[in-house]
């Protein structure tokens, strides 16, 4: 079994839970996911099965989310699962929110939540936090490609945002930092991932529709669908060379960089073209 699944991760399960379920269903150990989602979050979770786990590094890793921020209170975890820390009765306008959002667009420095799995000195941040130990957290540079208001209910001070961002961006931190900037405080109460690279929410499959090995196989997607690189169809002689990991000289001009080598429209290898010489990086024959 070799390919990708575009799974809808339900609320209440971790990304690792989804992988564990699919391992039980398929009896395949070689299964991985790209991009962890917190248990309270839901949405797109790309799954790689079999040798497709070797392709994770070639997948686009930008993400897009719809996040709901409740203004009026910050929490220890920056989301609905934490304890209240700061409170405010202040009400702000859509215009004030829009002005504040400008500070979060483009390349920004972001402090990860103290309750996160980022490691400092070999220990996860949430392990320090649970013990009440202080640790120096270094800011991380992330890029917010798009950030816009989808809805704002001023009466209950609830804000819905669309965020397209680079890998490693914490939406919880945006909710917390925005609340601080507005003077209202805030925390994330809902998070839906709508895009992960080329994986979109409209094409996701629910876990309840993957209860048998046959259902998994039926919904398995060829890696060629999601790998966004030039493709080159191999001749018989080229296929033979590639099967032994040998370089080839393609019969047509190809751009330098990653090239997907195919045979009968199936992925044979991921290669790199340099000045007309193609060398295999990973072979799947």
In the structure encoding, which two tokens stand for residue 164, read together? 């397209």
Rounded Cα–Cα distance for residues 37 and 19 (Å): 12
Give the burial class of 52: count Cβ atoms within 10 A of its Cβ; 0-12 exposed, 13-18 middle, 19 or more buried.
buried
- For the question of residue 236 being annotated catalytic, the response is no
Q: Are 250 and 235 in contact (CB under 8 A)?
A: no
Q: Are 24 and 216 in contact (CB under 8 A)?
A: no
17, 38, 107, 256: which one is catalytic?
Answer: 38
**CA angle (73 as vertex; 75, 98 as ends), nearest 5:** 110
Give Cα 213 to chain centroid, integer Å. Answer: 25
Annotate 209-236 with b (16+ C-beta within 10 A) or e (fewer): ebeeeeebeebbbebbebbeeeebbbee
Count of residues making up the chain: 285
Rounded Cα–Cα distance for residues 238 and 263 (Å): 10
Q: How far apart are the first and last CA of the chain?
A: 13
Rounded Cα–Cα distance for residues 267 and 49 (Å): 14
Residue 218: enclosing H or E segment and its boundaries? helix 213-219
Q: Are 262 and 234 in contact (CB under 8 A)?
A: yes
List residues with catalytic annotation: 38
């Amino acid at each position: 079994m070799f390919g990708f699944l575009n799974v809808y991760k339900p609320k209440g399960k971790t990304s690792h839970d989804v992988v564990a379920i699919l391992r039980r269903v398929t009896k395949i150990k070689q299964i991985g996911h790209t991009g962890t989602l917190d248990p309270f979050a839901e949405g797109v979770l790309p799954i790689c099965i079999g040798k497709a786990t070797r392709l994770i590094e070639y997948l686009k890793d930008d993400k897009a989310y719809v996040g709901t921020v409740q203004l009026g209170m910050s929490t220890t975890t920056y989301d609905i699962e934490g304890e209240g820390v700061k409170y405010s009765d202040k009400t702000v306008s859509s215009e004030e929110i829009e002005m504040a959002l400008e500070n979060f667009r483009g390349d920004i420095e972001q402090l990860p939540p103290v309750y996160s799995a980022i490691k400092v000195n070999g220990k996860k941040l949430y392990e320090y936090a649970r013990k009440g130990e202080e640790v120096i957290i270094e800011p991380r540079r992330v890029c917010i490609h798009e950030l816009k208001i989808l809805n704002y209910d001023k009466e209950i001070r609830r804000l819905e945002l669309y965020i397209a961002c680079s890998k490693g961006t914490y939406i919880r931190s945006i909710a917390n930092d925005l609340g601080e900037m507005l003077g209202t405080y805030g925390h994330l109460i809902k998070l839906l991932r709508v895009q992960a690279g080329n994986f979109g929410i409209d094409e996701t499959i629910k876990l309840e529709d993957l209860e048998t090995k046959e259902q998994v196989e039926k919904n398995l997607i060829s890696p060629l669908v999601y790998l966004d690189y030039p493709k080159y169809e191999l001749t018989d002689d080229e296929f033979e060379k590639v099967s032994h990991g040998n370089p080839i000289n393609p019969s047509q001009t190809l751009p330098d960089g990653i090239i997907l080598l195919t045979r009968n429209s199936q992925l044979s290898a991921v290669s790199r073209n340099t000045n007309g010489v193609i060398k295999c990086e990973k072979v799947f024959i």
